[in-house]
Structure 1
Amino acid sequence: MAPYRTRFQIPARSWPLIGLLLLLLTGCASQTQTTEPRQSDELEPTVVAYEDYHDPLQGMNRAIFAFNDVVYRYAMIPVAKGYNWLLPNPVRSSIGNAFHNIKMPIRSINYLVQLKPKAAGVDLLRFAVNSTVGLLGLFDPAEHWFNLKRTDNGFENTLSHYGSGYGTYLVLPIVGPSDLRNGSALIADFLLNPIPHLTRQPDTTYIMTFDQLQSFSGRAEQYEKLRSESDDPYLFFRNLYLQGVQRDADHQRACQQEARAC
C-alpha cells in the first residue's frame, strides 16, 4: 500500500504535544470513533481464550500494561469517578456530543479518501445542523429531527477499506489494547483533529486531556470490575480485544457477502 501523505505542516510548537498525546489518546475512540474501541458497552459474559495466539511483543506489552494499570487505578479511575459524580449523565453526553461534532474533519476526509462522498456529505450536513441548531454540537438535532445518523470513521477504517490487516497485538501507553494498524491510524487522526489547529498551548493540552477523560469515564468502573475478576489481567484484556477484532471481521465479511455498506 502506498504510504499515506498529508499536506499538513505541523508548527514546531506542536511536536511536544504530539508526544504527549501519544500517551494520552483514548477511544475510542473514535474513534473514534470512539469510537470507543471495538468492545461494546455491554461486555460478553465470557471471553474467548486465545491460547495459541502468537504475541511476539508480549514482553513489552506486559510492561506497558503494568504501567497503564497503575495509572488507571491510582489516577484516571479516581478522577473519572469524581467526574461522573460531579456531572449528571445528560451533561456528560452533551460534552461527548460536542467533541464528536468538532472532529468532523477526521470522519469526512477519511470518507472522501474511501471514495464515499455521500457519507462525507451527510457528516458535513450533520456538522452544520448540530453546530448551529444544536448549540455547537452539545445536542444532536441532526439525528433526532432529520434522521441523519451519527457515525464514526477514521484512518483505521481507511486502512481497512484498502485491505490493510490488523497487524500484531500492541499495548499503547494509556490507550491500552490496540494493534499496529490502529496505533498508526491514531497519528493520522490527530493530524486531522481541528482542536490542535484552533487552539494554543497550554489550552490545547487541557482541552484534549479533558476529551480523553470524559471518554474514559464511561469505562472506568468497568475496567476496575473486570480486572478484579481476572487471574491474569493482561491475558484477559488481550483476549477481550481480540474477541472484538474477530467480531468486527465477521461483521465486515457478512457485509461483503450481502453486498451492503456497513
Structure 2
Amino acid sequence: MSAIQRTRSMEEGPNSHPPRQYLGRALLVASLLLSVCVGCANSDQRPEAKSESGAGQADETEPSNGSDDDIEPTVVEYTDYNDPLIGVNRAVFAFNDVTYRYLLIPVSNGYVAVVPSPARRSIDNFFYNLKTPIYLVGNLLQLDFGAAGDNIVRFGMNTTTGVLGLFDTADAWLGIERAEAHLEDALISYGAGYGMYIVIPFLGGSDLRSAPSELMDVALNPVFHLTENPERFMIQSFDYLQNSASGADRYNTLREKSEDPYIYFRNLYLQGVQRDADYQ
C-alpha cells in the first residue's frame, strides 16, 4: 500500500468531479460503517472465513492461554549475510520503529478493543474480495487457470450472496477457498531469487523480488482507480490498519527481547523467505 498519495493541486468545481469520487465515498462508508454493523449483527451466524495471509498479520482466532511474554525471539542467525544496504535499511527501520511504537500499535490496539472480532473478520473479507483483481492477475501470470476461475466464482458469489464481500459464502457453502496470488508468487515460480534485503517505509522488511509485487498490488487495487483523495488515502490507510492490527502488539514483545532489533527482524524475514522456498 502506498503510504502517501498525491493530492490535487487545483480545486475543481462541484460539477466536474468524476463518478469515481462518489464510488470512493461509497467504499469508505462500506468499510467503516456497513462492515462493522453487519459483523456485529451476525456474530453468531457469520460463515467462517480465513484471514488474509501476509507479513505481520496474526490469525484472527482467539488467542491461546499463553501470553506475549511467552514469545521468544528464536530465529536462525545469518551472521555472514551480505547486507549491502544496511546503512539505509537501519535508517528506514528506525523510522518505522518509531512509527510502529508510537502510532500504528496504539491505534491498532484501540481498533481491536473497539471493533469486535466478527466485525474485523467481515472487514477483512470485504477488502480481500475488493482486491480480487490482484489475485486474479497473480493466478494468470502463473498460468494457474483453475485458481483464476475460483477467484472469479468467489468474487461473483461473495459480492452478491456475501453482501459486498463481507461474508465468505463461497468457502462456507461451496468449499471454494481463497486462491491468493501476487506477482511475487509468479516470480518465485519462474525461479527468480529474492535478491538483497531492503526495508520499505511503513511496510517494513522486503526484498528486490517482493517490492515490485507491492507496487503491482497498488496498481491493480480497484481503490486506486475508482477513488480520489482524500477518500483513496483514507481507504488504503484503513486497509493497512485492519490488515496488521491483530498482530501489531507482538512487535513490541519481540523488539524488547532482541539485542539488536534490526538484525533480529531482518533474520526473521530471511527465515520466512527460506521457509517459503522449502515448501515450493
* Residue equivalent to 2:120: 92
Q: Kindly indicate whether residue 152 of structure 2 is the aligned counterpart of residue 124 of structure 1.
A: yes
Q: 2:134·2:182 contact (CA, 8 Å) conserved in 1? A: yes
* Residue equivalent to 1:36: 54
Question: Which runs of 5 or more structure 1 residues have no equivalent in the other structure?
Answer: 1-13, 18-32, 253-262
* Residue equivalent to 2:129: 101
Q: 2:135·2:182 contact (CA, 8 Å) conserved in 1? A: yes
Amino acid at match of 1:98: F
- Tell me how far apart the structure 2 counterparts of residues 223 and 152 of structure 1 sit (CA, whole Å): 25
* Residue equivalent to 2:221: 193
Residues 137-167 of structure 1, C-alpha deviations (whole Å, 9 max, x = no match):
1111111110001132111112212221101
Larger Rg: 2
SS of residue in 2 equivalent to 1:122: helix
Q: TM-score scaled by structure 1?
A: 0.81
Closer/same/farther in 2, CA of residues 15 and 237 from structure 1, 3 Å limit: closer
- Tell me how far apart the structure 2 counterparts of residues 228 and 220 of structure 1 sit (CA, whole Å): 14
Amino acid at match of 2:253: K
1:132, CA displacement in angstroms? 0.6
- Tell me how far apart the structure 2 counterparts of residues 15 and 223 of structure 1 sit (CA, whole Å): 26
1:40, CA displacement in angstroms? 6.9
Q: Kindly indicate whether residue 246 of structure 2 is the aligned counterpart of residue 228 of structure 1.
A: no
5 Å matches for 1:1-262? Answer: 16=6, 35-37=53-55, 46-252=74-280
Amino acid at match of 1:132: T
1:62, CA displacement in angstroms? 0.5
Residues 98-131 of structure 1, C-alpha deviations (whole Å, 9 max, x = no match):
0000100001122112111111000110111110
Q: Larger relative CO (CA 8 A, sep 6+): 1 or 2?
A: 2
Closer/same/farther in 2, CA of residues 40 and 114 from structure 1, 3 Å limit: same
* Residue equivalent to 2:19: none
SS of residue in 1 equivalent to 2:199: strand
SS of residue in 2 equivalent to 1:171: strand
1:15, CA displacement in angstroms? 6.7
Closer/same/farther in 2, CA of residues 62 and 171 from structure 1, 3 Å limit: same
Amino acid at match of 1:35: S
Number of residue equivalences: 224
Q: 1:38·1:245 contact (CA, 8 Å) conserved in 2? A: no
Q: TM-score scaled by structure 2?
A: 0.76
- Tell me how far apart the structure 1 counterparts of residues 73 and 117 of structure 2 sit (CA, whole Å): 25
Closer/same/farther in 2, CA of residues 15 and 85 from structure 1, 3 Å limit: closer
Which segment is superposed worse, 38-47 or 177-186? 38-47
Q: 1:39·1:241 contact (CA, 8 Å) conserved in 2? A: no
Q: 2:56·2:244 contact (CA, 8 Å) conserved in 1? A: no
CA RMSD of aligned residues (A): 2.1
Q: 1:38·1:248 contact (CA, 8 Å) conserved in 2? A: no
Runs of 4+, deviation exceeding 3 Å: 38-45
